[in-house]
Amino acid sequence: MIATLKRFFSRRGTSSSICTDNATNFKGANSDLKRLQSMFSRPPEPLANYLTNEQVTWTFIPPRSPNFCGLWEAGVKSFKHHLKRTVGNSRLTIEQFLTIFIQIEGILNSRPLTPLSSDPDNLENLTPGHFLIGRPINSIPDPDYSDRQDNLLSQWQRLSKMVQIIWKKNGN
């Protein structure tokens, strides 16, 4: 779990607050972080300064109450749905899996939240990407493989097809 936090903070910056469900891996990571913070509480250690200056707080929703975090639980559900439907039982290398994983993240962070303008000629929408990078998230386009049979496609084309299927399903 600590490695996950390090990856998240490296990609998105340090959060001042983390709110999670009561999964045991989250509870364990919280106690690990507190233990680590007390271990390095002797300044001027860089890690001690980081942990105390950033003051990351970790809160847990009540047990068995996913309704407390409806919006982000819906995002997790959507992500899992697209991952399972697209990848299914396919055997992927870690590189292929990470590529699909991050592309699904990009697709979900590209979904429209609300129009940016009331002008009917302005079709740009506010997306989660605007909050993350200040603008919409764009990806490199691939040829459309979504209607081709898998046995005719290379491994890379199969991955592209999986992502294209997610784009089509997410748009509906």
The pLDDT of residue 170? 67
| Torsion angles phi and psi, residue 118, rounded to 5 | -85, -5
Residues of the chain below pLDDT 70: 1-3, 21-54, 58, 63, 66, 140-153, 156, 170-172
Per the omega criterion (within 30 degrees of 0), is the bond before 44 cis? Answer: yes
- Alpha-carbon gap, residue 58 to 88, rounded angstroms: 33
| DSSP H/E element including 62 | none
User: CB under 8 Å to 82, separation ≥6 — which residues?
Assistant: 104, 107, 108, 166, 169, 170
pTM of the entire predicted model: 0.60
